[in-house]
Structure 1
Amino acid sequence: MELVFKLLYAFIAAFIASFGFAVFFGNRGKYIFLAAIGGALAWTSYIYFLPISMALAAYVSGSVCAAYSELLAKIYKSPAAIFLIIAILPMVPGADIFNTMKAAVFQDYTLFSRSLNNTLTISGFIALGIIIIFSLVVLQKNIRRNWRNKDSMLS
């Protein structure tokens, strides 16, 4: 039961943060709400998988972002970037970026390497999840197009 409340709290907090960024970045109408839902889903999936592995959590949340963005782009016939940019924002490793720069300024090389490793791991696995989902979408579109062309050539 504690996990459910933790995930619900994470969902609500990420929704509010994503909603604010969607308004700030100038999304319009229903796209504000939909983009905020994407950020909340991505952050909730990150929190859910975080006890298992930070890398897995980042990968899954990046994949959730990309899949959600592509789905809404298809439904609303709009660019996926409208939803993707807002959905990614809750997962940006801001604290690790700050700690990396702070450690670099104060020449604390142990903290610097640890923070840099966390920053690059989280960012890399988020990007990997997005790239894989977007690649699968492009592959699916190409297969569908080739299948249609094959049918038209046989007729």
Structure 2
Amino acid sequence: MTIDILVEILISFFVAFGFGIIFEVPKKYFLHMSIISALGRTVFIVLNEISGYSVVVSTFAAAFLIAALSHVQARVYKAPVTVFLIAGILPLVPGMGMYQSVSNFMDGLILDAVVEMVYTFMTAGAIAMAIFIVDSVFKVIKVKWPGM
């Protein structure tokens, strides 16, 4: 179990690293965006697999942390937030849920497909809400402290 968790976190680290290579992100950001991605996945695993929270709640918390760390890193390195954010969020995107929904539809399991799609949309919505909340907080902070 512990080895599986470590492998999952390492995969998340290298997914972000690979994203940086494919999309030609400046090399000086590779380590930071990879660490953010691994930390986000760690939060997801701790909440979902160890603490027993739902996938949606765990995804929200992980996306919230990734978005907050991305904003901080963007300000520290004077880089776009999306450099860190997209690489960090990528391992949380519910691609398997969407695949399972389409597969169930193709197999004629309409009810299973709809249930899976609802969970997929809830997970994607949790990611979007976390990013929106963090963006809003950082905009308010920027208004109050223009020197930031």
Q: TM-score, normalised by structure 2?
A: 0.88
Cα deviation digits, residues 14-70 of structure 1 (max 9, x gap) = 111221122112112121221111111111111111122222101101101101110
Distance (whole Å) between structure 2 residues aligned to residue 23 and residue 114 of structure 1: 36
Between the aligned partners of 2:98 and 2:104, the Cα distance in structure 1 is 10
Residue aligned with 1:14, SS: helix
Tell me which of 12, 15, 28 is aligned to 1:14: 12
- Asked whether the 8 Å contact 1:46–1:57 carries over to 2, the reply is yes
Q: Which runs of 5+ in 2 are unaligned?
A: none
1:78 paired with 2:79, answer yes
Cα 1:105/1:6, change in 2 over 3 Å: closer
Q: What is the Cα deviation at residue 132 of structure 1? A: 0.6
Instruction: Report what 2:61 is aligned to.
Output: 60
The percent identity for this pair of structures is 26
Mapping of residues 1-155 of structure 1, within 5 Å: 7-50=5-48, 51-145=52-146
How many residues in Structure 1 have an aligned counterpart in Structure 2? 144
State the shift of 1:6 in Å. Answer: 5.2
Q: Per-residue displacement from partner, 1:60-115 (whole Å, max 9, x unpaired)?
A: 01101101110100000011001101111100111101011112233311221121
CA shift for structure 1 position 9: 3.1
Amino acid paired to 2:94: P
Contact between 1:96 and 1:116, CA under 8 Å: does it hold in 2? yes
| Larger Rg over CA atoms | 1
CA contact (8 A) 1:46 1:61 kept: yes
TM-score, normalised relative to structure 1: 0.85
Residue 7 of structure 1 deviates from its aligned partner by 4.3
Q: Which residue identity lines up with residue 32 of structure 2 in the other structure?
A: L
DSSP 3-state at the match of 1:117: helix
CA contact (8 A) 1:18 1:89 kept: yes
Root mean square deviation, CA, Å: 1.7
| Letter paired with 2:7 | Y
**Matching residue's letter, 1:34:** H
Instruction: State the secondary structure of the residue aligned to 1:107.
Output: coil
Which portions of structure 1, spanning 4 or more consecutive aligned residues, are displaced by more than 4 angstroms?
none
Unaligned 5+ segments in structure 1 are 149-155
